[in-house]
Structure 1
């Protein structure tokens, strides 16, 4: 299958419109229709019902294959371009919101001291977007975070030839909940005015029926909670698609649900308490993501050395 035809098909399917796909790709609407017709001829099956544009069962299956294939092609092209590129005098760093730890900030300061005229850009993105950006060479380096058993690596999306390594020490996780929540009183929570008596916290499996805030780019994602305990539940009362931890903590304080976060994040937040988990043993981990030889030269290499990745 011709990747150009696949790319046109994916754009039409995503927009549900031949004209919108033509605008996105810079083609005429007639050319888009010809691309889809050529793909239909190659596959031997009709695609994208017309008037209105509606997906077929074949479309859905083709999309499952097409999007990862196109992402892989973009990553391969970017990898080859890196081989021919000069050592970068810039650093475009993509970071998940909670991957910007004090250690990372100190490493960026060290890079700027060493190369004061180098251009440094930090983009705060969702976790999956960081990995995709590195694979496609939109980012020189990435920083992702997540929960893992102590010393275990994070599981990254399979989007191309990227590698990851740990950054600094792993950090404890804690349950963030309203300061007046019964669990906060029962387990001697740390609150905005200091640390409680440190009583043993609850087991994560015992909280499967509680309401949670689904904040996949900040808190530990709910599917990971289910996987860690083997328990169903962990229902989302509210979904939070932002990358601002302050907005998430405001929802926690207002009683919309619980969230599992690095212990430092809720510290000092008004009306939010933290409780450690008794089990399972999970820690917050940050990893640097890179692809190709460019990360071994220039400002990216200085940053990796400074952060210890």
Structure 2
């Protein structure tokens, strides 16, 4: 069957199943019967003459044909969104919703306090801040733009370096007062640490503790850097933390700051089509202005941030 005769509603259902990773979850999100989703997917596969999904106990997995279709349908969806917003004028106006994805520590400890000022500057824009300890999936439209700790490699995205930031080893004053002194790296063997659950680390960029001290004795592991930060504040151990987080607790002190000095990078990315929307460009430009003003703070060279 010719592509121009395929029902767009069936393609929308196909997208929903891809993003939900199961027909049952897609049906729940779209508030339709599961049987309706299944029936229309079969119809779409018959129209295209190709199997789009492997049905497995873990969910619906795209076949090679399904992956090719997804690329076409996402381009169609993007074009339709831009046409609607362009005709309605929204693509040129500073109004509407913008969803920003961010890593947990940066989103909670740095971005959240500043975004209210962005909203004051642009009262017609409503910002949704998506904070998760993983990568934001822009290709599945989880967000309009995202801050990640690795440079995105997918096509169809615009990305640029946002800022470098520094991490150091931290402990509370109460912990340091009651434990053996730490004067060199070898002294760390007498102390305990908080870090990530090794097999659940979502990026190699987070494996800094193993490079500093292989085999460091861990008393608590967590997928959350905020959990590690709160554990250190309780005075029960040490952890490698971003300076922009640790600076917000007066009781935390850097340990061996010259020996333990980790530099990492945040990257800003957006789908190419969403990047052209005025409200997305406004937030993109604000983030760049914000981090430029706060380079000393993000690098651990200033005690507090500056607003823009």
Structure 2 counterpart of 1:212: 194
Q: Evaluate the alpha carbon distance shift between residue 259 and residue 7 of structure 1 in structure 2; reply closer, same or farther with a 3 A threshold.
A: same
Cross-structure match for 1:76: 75
Aligned to 1:275: 255
| Structure-2 residue corresponding to 1:51 | none
Structure 1 residue 98 and structure 2 residue 105: aligned?
Answer: yes
The structure with the largest helix share of the pair is 2
- Determine if contact 1:79/1:137 at 8 Å carries over to the other structure: no
TM-aligned CA deviation for residue 123 of structure 1 = 0.8
Offset of residue 293 of structure 1: 4.7
Q: 1:123 and 2:117 equivalent?
A: no
Residues 92 and 215 of structure 1: CA distance in aligned 2, closer, same or farther (over 3 Å): farther
Q: Which residue of 2 aligns with 1:225?
A: 207
Structure 1: distance between partners of 2:286 and 2:19: 41
In structure 2, what is the equivalent of residue 238 of structure 1? Answer: 221
Tell me, in whole angstroms, the C-alpha distance in 2 between the residues paired with 1:44 and 1:165.
34
Give the secondary structure class of the aligned counterpart of 1:265.
Answer: helix
User: How well do the aligned residues superpose, as a CA RMSD in angstroms?
Assistant: 5.3
TM-score by length of 2: 0.56
- Within the alignment, does 1:295 sit opposite 2:294 as a pair? no
Are 2:170 and 2:232, in contact at CA under 8 Å, matched by a contact in 1? yes
Alpha-carbon spacing, 1:104–1:125, altered in 2? closer, same or farther (3 Å): closer
- CA 66–155 in structure 1, closer or farther in 2 if over 3 Å, else same: farther
- DSSP 3-state at the match of 1:167: strand
Contact 1:177 1:257 in 2 (8 A): yes
8 Å CA contact retained: 1:36, 1:47: no
Q: Separation in 1 of the partners of 2:62 and 2:268?
A: 30
Partners of 2:26 and 2:139 lie apart in 1 by 24
Q: Could you say if the C-alpha distance between residues 221 and 265 of structure 1 is closer, same or farther in structure 2, counting changes exceeding 3 Å?
A: farther
2:293 matched residue in structure 1? none
Could you give the per-residue CA deviations for residues 27-57 of structure 1, whole angstroms, max 9, x where no partner exists?
Answer: 4344455468787996599944xxxxx45xx
Deviations 1:197-232 (A, max 9, x none): xx66x49xx88x96533289xx99677417984997
| TM-score normalized with structure 1 length | 0.56
Matched, 1:286 2:266: yes
Among candidates 159, 165, 187, match of residue 160 of structure 2: 165
Q: Give the Cα separation in 2 of the matches to 1:110 and 1:75.
A: 30
2:7 aligned residue: none
CA deviations 1:234-279 (Å, max 9, x no partner) are 76833244x8x3x442222346765322113123536543325666
Contact 2:54 2:63 in 1 (8 A): no
CA distance in 2, matches of 1:137, 1:178: 40
The one of the two structures with greater contact order (alpha-carbon pairs below 8 A, sep at least 6) is 1
Residues 196 and 221, structure 2, Cα contact 8 Å, conserved in 1 = yes
2:169 alignment partner in structure 1: 175
Provide the secondary structure at the position in 2 that maps to 1:269.
Answer: coil
- In 2 relative to 1, CA 175–280 (structure 1 residues): closer, same or farther, beyond 3 Å? closer
- Give the C-alpha shift of residue 161 in structure 1: 1.8
In structure 1, how many angstroms separate the alpha carbons of the residues matched to 2:219 and 2:64?
30
For 1:135 and 1:156, locate their aligned partners in 2 and report how far apart those are by CA, in whole Å. 11
- Number of the residue aligned with 1:191: none
Distance 1:7 1:277, change over 3 A: same
SS at match of 2:92: coil
